Each structure stands twice: as structure tokens, then as C-alpha cells.
A = this chain, B = another copy of it.
């Protein structure tokens, strides 16, 4: 049974607008309210069939909603959550789509006052190197992982409702503590992003005429480096300690490979490459 009849989307960017579309496609008869900071954005939303009403006052968007999903840039999410918790009724659940969960969930718990338990964090791991409403699609979430990060004090029925919401949009839902979430994404998302960006930054200093000779391998390995640098800097800032730990550990691993290469330890290098290859191949079937 579908739990939510009215969903408020706070911030109709790539994720927010895609979420609105997915709700309309997948949740029978749901009413979607949209809040945006800019009036121009609200005017555009109003013309879309995935938007039932567009609001400039957060209180209006939240009013009567069973679920509020904060989809603003990650650095601003915690503040919006606090504002929404101060406005919403007892029965309104609040979640978000932020890529970092520890600080957001801590802020909600410590400063959410009487309503703090209405918030349960989410991280739908869907996106694109593109950003903005123009690239939104209702299929963005299909078959992608979503990590829901309850606190030990969260009501299990509410956790179930939030999990069900993402599952109804086609996602594979996992539960993790906010801290463990941040460690996982530091390794599997923020670290690959920083490395891809670093490769692209490094290669940008080479003669321009060489770029044309780059092949698909370069293209794949650095695709995510195209992501919005402002957004990614926010993410890295919010997950600083976990990401720094991951990077520090990986430095030992790449130094190992470097020494095999420099010292001509080819059997060792082959084993090293093989471990990476086997691991990545095993993952493929989950795509």
C-alpha cells in the first residue's frame, strides 16, 4: 500500500525534478508540491505535468504533505530540514537526498527540537554529471541503490515507510547508520570522483593537440570529473574526514603498484591488476 498522498519537493534541480516525475509515474494519484527559491523556477515548474502546485513559501509546500523531500544543494540541506521540522505537523515525514549523511542527521537530531524524529535521512544514489531540471528524468532512480540512514531512535514504521517510498520508485534500498553511510560513499563515490577529477586536472596541463588522441578508456575513467565542482566541493567538505582517511589508505595501495612498475616486478603487478579486474567484473552483473 502506498503511504504518501501528498509529497513536497524542496528544490526542483536534477534530483528534485526527476523525483517529482518518478512520483507522478509510479505513485498512483499522488499530489506533488514544489518549492523553489526563485520565482522564475516556480513559473517553469507550474507548466510541467509533474507539478501540481508551486510555492515560494516553504510553509505552503509543507502544509498537508505526508512527506517532504529536501533536494537542495547538500550544504544547505540541514538548514532546510530544521526549518521544515519547525513548520510541519506530527504526521509529516521529512527526508532528503544529500550525498553525505552524518552531519545532516546529527543536526536534525540535535536541533530538530520536538520534531527531530520526523526526519530520516536518505541518499538515493542516482545522478549524472549533468545538473539542473533540464536533464531530469523519471527513470533516474530505477535499479539504483538508495541508502536510508535511520537513527537508533527512529520509529521503525517510519523507516519502513521511507524505505517503501524509494522502493516504489524502483530503487534497491539499504539501511545503514549515517556514519557507516559516509564511510561507504567516501570509498565508493567520493574517492573515485576525486581521483577522476585529479586525472583530468593533471592531463589538462599536457599539449592540447594530444587530447584528440585520447580514447574511450580515458573517457570512461574521467566521465564523473565533469560533475559540478561547486556541488562536489561541498560534498568533500562535508565528508572531509572519511574521504581523507580513504585517500590516505589508498596512497599505500598506489605506491605499491608504483613500486612494482618501477622495479619491474611484473608478476606482482599482474596479480595486482588481476585483483582489480576480478573485483570489477563481479560487480558488473549488478548494473
- Taking Cβ atoms with an 8 Å cutoff, the residues of A that contact B are 125-127, 144-145, 147, 172, 174, 176, 184-185, 187-189, 191-204, 206, 210-230, 232-233, 236-237, 240, 243-244, 247-251, 253-254, 257-258, 261-262, 264, 266, 269-284, 286-287
Which residue of B210, B271, B275, B284 contacts A188 across the interface (Cβ within 8 Å)?
B210
Which residue of B196, B220, B258 contacts A247 across the interface (Cβ within 8 Å)?
B258
Other A-B pairs, 8, CB within 8 Å; known A176-B213, A198-B250, A232-B273: A199-B250, A200-B277, A202-B250, A212-B286, A220-B223, A225-B277, A226-B284, A237-B266
Inside 8 A of A277's CB, which chain B residues have their CB? Answer: 197, 200, 225-229
Bound complex: CA A214 to CA B143 (Å): 12
Shortest distance from the beta carbon of A206 to any chain B beta carbon, whole Å: 6
Inside 8 A of A266's CB, which chain B residues have their CB? Answer: 233, 237
Interface pair B206/A283, CB less than 8 Å apart: no
Which B-chain residue is minimally distant from A224 (CB atoms)?
Answer: B217
Q: Enumerate the 3 nearest inter-chain pairs by beta-carbon distance, A residue then B residue, closest first.
A: A200-B276, A204-B279, A229-B273
Inside 8 A of A224's CB, which chain B residues have their CB? Answer: 217, 220-221
Shortest distance from the beta carbon of A130 to any chain B beta carbon, whole Å: 10
Inside 8 A of A230's CB, which chain B residues have their CB? Answer: 270
Inside 8 A of A199's CB, which chain B residues have their CB? Answer: 191-192, 195, 250, 276
Interface pair B253/A201, CB less than 8 Å apart: yes
Which B-chain residue is minimally distant from A257 (CB atoms)?
Answer: B198
Q: Which label, helix, strand, loop or mixed, suits the secondary structure of the A interface?
A: helix
Interface pair B276/A225, CB less than 8 Å apart: yes
Inside 8 A of A210's CB, which chain B residues have their CB? Answer: 184, 187-188
Interface pair A213/B201, CB less than 8 Å apart: no
Report 16 cross-chain contacts, Cβ distance below 8 Å, ordered by A residue: A126-B215, A144-B215, A188-B218, A189-B217, A197-B272, A201-B253, A204-B278, A212-B286, A218-B283, A221-B224, A226-B280, A230-B270, A233-B273, A240-B264, A247-B258, A247-B261
Bound complex: CA A266 to CA B235 (Å): 11
Inside 8 A of A282's CB, which chain B residues have their CB? Answer: 211
Inside 8 A of A284's CB, which chain B residues have their CB? Answer: 219, 226
Inside 8 A of A126's CB, which chain B residues have their CB? Answer: 215-216
